[in-house]
Structure 1
Amino acid sequence: MATYVLVHGGGHGGWCYRKVARLLRSAGHEVHTPTLTGLGERSHLLHPDIDLDTHIEDVTALLRYEDLREVILVGHSYGGMVVTGAADRAPDRVGRLVYLDAATPVDGQSLLKLAGPMIEAIRPHGAVVDGVELVLLPAPGAGLFYGVTDPGDLAWMDERLTGHPWKCFEQPLVLTGEAALGAIAKFHIVCTSTLATRDPALVAEARTAGRLWDIDTGHDLMITEAAAVAEALLEVAAAPAS
């Protein structure tokens, strides 16, 4: 049995993995889908100090308090920043890292630095709410921004998407144990359309090692192609970790 921790991206919550989690659990695996502070069902905890470090601590605390080991730690989109930081802080608890159409940062990078033009483009459409600058504000049909087109999925997302604290996107990731982090096996499940925007060397290395899957769908592939994502994650569990 494998243990998965599935970390969501900006504006989402653990809810976005509902379909994938059901498939992994039905295959006999343990699955955790934490929601980061200030988002989803934890949006009532929103406060001005929430940043990337807050979300990294959310995940490392889960690993510690649930005493999870050899975890397959998955991050979607902004969640790639979070899982990289969590694996850096708790490398003894992470067996494999999976980047699900996600940011793949190095030390000192913020999401703003990593994906500047796209991130800067969303800022003017944000708002300050209770002293917190929020971006990715929910609106009817907002799921279209994430590549979701099914009417049922869009309606489901409309009820759950929340704004995301801007500080999370501009805070640089600080790594404290790069050697241990570098020893963790890394896998990539990406949208076919984003392959051309990714580091060619990273893509080539992952493909050669058999650690790259590309799925022809929108950015929220855990919603639009849950079966394909779950199948890839099952293959990750079966793959060598060294």
Structure 2
Amino acid sequence: MTDFVLVPGAWLGAWAWEDTARALRERGHGTFPVTLTGLAERAAEGGPGTDLETHIADIVAVVEKHDLRAVTLVAHSYAALPVTGAAARLGDRLERVVYVDSAPLPAGMRMLDLMPPAAAEQLAQQVAAEGDGWGLPLPPFEVLGADASLDGLDAGLLGVLRERATPQPFGTYTQALSGPVEPDPGADRVVIACRDFRQLLDGGEPMVAFLGEPPWRRFDLATGHWPMLSAPDALAGVLHDAVTGS
């Protein structure tokens, strides 16, 4: 079976993958959930110098530490940026890259480039006022839900998300993706689209239109932006199908 390296989105740690990882192991797979520098149990390791390159190096280090081969690298949300960078550096260790409700970005792009300038400036002000100049706190849910569907997250799950989220090192949003960004030509490419992202794909959004063309394979999930919390077993099932050809 496959070794999955599971990389969470902003504000999250390896804890977010616990239920999905368990379901993957029950299907016979190896799992390596990642906590990136400055987040969750690694919060104390973060600081003003924590940036996108830090997180790319984190992912590569997990693969090399465990001497993983034929890896399936999974990116949720923000993790699309560091996973894109890491995938290009793993060479033939990488068998497959999977983007969950996200997509690879080209070199030169920053996370902040995905939002209007006024919104980016508001985040910078929040970091300065509430994050010691380098940490971006989890926004209120009414703000978060305006950009990313909270479907499937009941009050209990929202409480867990609020309690366990840690400020995102803002350097990971302000640093542009650089260096090689294309994985090994033989690597399989998969996108898992949840409700809002599925609408973007179906609506022909030009920025992600390439995801509808070979070599990309698409799977859909009828849940919100955090499927590892709202539908962990269903997500594991889709990941299993993606690697087994079911």
TM-score of the superposition, structure 1-length normalised?
0.87
Give the match for residue 40 of structure 1. 40
In 2, Cα distance between equivalents of 1:24 and 1:141: 32
What count of residue pairs does the alignment treat as equivalent? 236
The alpha-carbon deviation at position 142 of structure 1 amounts to 8.6
Kept in 1: contact 2:189–2:216 (CA 8 A) = no
Summarize the Cα distance change of 1:227–1:110 in structure 2 as closer, same or farther, 3 Å threshold. Answer: same
SS in 2 for 1:104: coil
SS in 1 for 2:98: strand
SS in 2 for 1:194: helix
SS in 1 for 2:134: strand
Give the match for residue 164 of structure 1. 168
Deviations 1:11-39 (A, max 9, x none): 11111111111100111111000100000
Tell me the amino acid that sits aligned with residue 19 of structure 2: K
TM-score of the superposition, structure 2-length normalised?
0.85
**5 Å matches for 1:47-126?**
47-113=47-113, 115-117=114-116, 120=120, 122-126=123-127
Give the match for residue 136 of structure 2. 135
In 2, Cα distance between equivalents of 1:25 and 1:155: 26
Deviations 1:186-229 (A, max 9, x none): 100011212344535323215xx671112222111111111221
Kept in 1: contact 2:103–2:208 (CA 8 A) = no
In 2, Cα distance between equivalents of 1:140 and 1:237: 34
Tell me the amino acid that sits aligned with residue 164 of structure 1: Q
Structure 2 counterpart of 1:239, from 231, 234, 245: 245
Kept in 1: contact 2:71–2:94 (CA 8 A) = yes
Structure 2 counterpart of 1:204, from 189, 201, 212: 212
Summarize the Cα distance change of 1:177–1:41 in structure 2 as closer, same or farther, 3 Å threshold. Answer: closer
In 2, Cα distance between equivalents of 1:142 and 1:155: 16
In 2, Cα distance between equivalents of 1:126 and 1:48: 11
Summarize the Cα distance change of 1:39–1:142 in structure 2 as closer, same or farther, 3 Å threshold. Answer: farther
The alpha-carbon deviation at position 129 of structure 1 amounts to 6.3
- Where in structure 1 are there 5+ consecutive unaligned residues? none
In 2, Cα distance between equivalents of 1:21 and 1:168: 25
The alpha-carbon deviation at position 75 of structure 1 amounts to 0.5
Summarize the Cα distance change of 1:155–1:140 in structure 2 as closer, same or farther, 3 Å threshold. Answer: same
In 2, Cα distance between equivalents of 1:62 and 1:73: 11
Q: Percent identity?
A: 33
The alpha-carbon deviation at position 232 of structure 1 amounts to 0.9
SS in 2 for 1:18: helix
Over the residues paired in the alignment, what is the CA RMSD in angstroms? 2.6
Give the match for residue 189 of structure 1. 192
Structure 2 counterpart of 1:229, from 215, 225, 235: 235
- Where in structure 2 are there 5+ consecutive unaligned residues? none
Stretch deviating more after TM superposition (89-98 or 136-145): 136-145
Tell me the amino acid that sits aligned with residue 201 of structure 1: A
SS in 1 for 2:135: strand
In 1, Cα distance between equivalents of 2:174 and 2:95: 28
In 2, Cα distance between equivalents of 1:227 and 1:9: 18
In 1, Cα distance between equivalents of 2:88 and 2:197: 26
In 2, Cα distance between equivalents of 1:210 and 1:181: 14
Summarize the Cα distance change of 1:162–1:142 in structure 2 as closer, same or farther, 3 Å threshold. Answer: farther
Give the match for residue 3 of structure 1. 3
Kept in 1: contact 2:87–2:181 (CA 8 A) = no
Summarize the Cα distance change of 1:27–1:228 in structure 2 as closer, same or farther, 3 Å threshold. Answer: same
Tell me the amino acid that sits aligned with residue 117 of structure 1: P
Kept in 2: contact 1:79–1:103 (CA 8 A) = no
